[in-house]
Amino acid sequence: MLWRKRLFAHLYPRLSARHEALVAERKRALFQEALGRVRPERVLEIGPGPGTNLAYLPPGVAYLALEPNPFFHPRLREEAKRRGLALTLLPGRAEAIPLPEESVDLVVGTLVFCSVADPEKALEEVHRVLRPGGAYLFLEHVAAPKGTPLRLFQEAATPFFVFFGDGCHPNRKTIALIQARFPRVEAEAFSLPLPVVAPHVAGLAFKE
């Protein structure tokens, strides 16, 4: 429903500010690692929202953004212009990326695979559009270990998050899905002082 997408786009920058402060240094190091190893000319970001991650990209890269929530688009355009990045907004969703095979050097997805409708299909698409030697950079909140009180809380909270959080699933086992699609994954698990979504994982997955 459009009103939920509009509300989410309005609230998200405020809601995510604390999270971004907690992960900014980790993100910066992760982007520097990816940029140094891949040296991308074309970068695709899935679900960039208001464009928070543009701060970690160097000027001059061709930046492709797949953002299905249209209410993020004006802010995303403004941020790309401010950062000196050539922005191309792509239609569609992560499960059907409208790009040719092996056409991008780096795919970025942060706090997005919790909300895609079909994460396995979306990861297939990420793998398809990456060139050999390219990388998928990810930072996601993930499910707590099975049987723990936090996991039980995540399971109970998921319907609320899905409804008000634009499809967010706090109980999703994203790292297992990434490892199933990419044979070479360098990842680190960590926890943040946040309710429900404390467990996180971040890293790089490489296409051979």
Tens of pLDDT, residue by residue over 81-115, are 999 999 999 989 999 999 999 999 999 999 999 99
Which CATH number is 2-206 given?
A: 3.40.50.150
Q: What is the pTM of this model?
A: 0.94
Nearest-CA neighbor of 155 among 166, 140, 170? 170
Torsion-angle region of 144 (φ positive above 0: left; ψ -120 to 50: alpha; else: beta):
beta
pLDDT averaged over the chain?
Answer: 94
Q: Please give the span between the terminal C-alpha atoms of the chain, in angstroms, as a whole number.
A: 39
Is it the case that residue 169 has pLDDT exceeding 90?
yes
Residue 44 pairs with which residues in a beta bridge?
Answer: 64, 107
Q: Give the residue-averaged pLDDT of 66-72.
A: 92
Helix (H, G, I), strand (E, B) or coil at 153: helix
**Dist. CA 137–CA 37, nearest whole Å:** 12
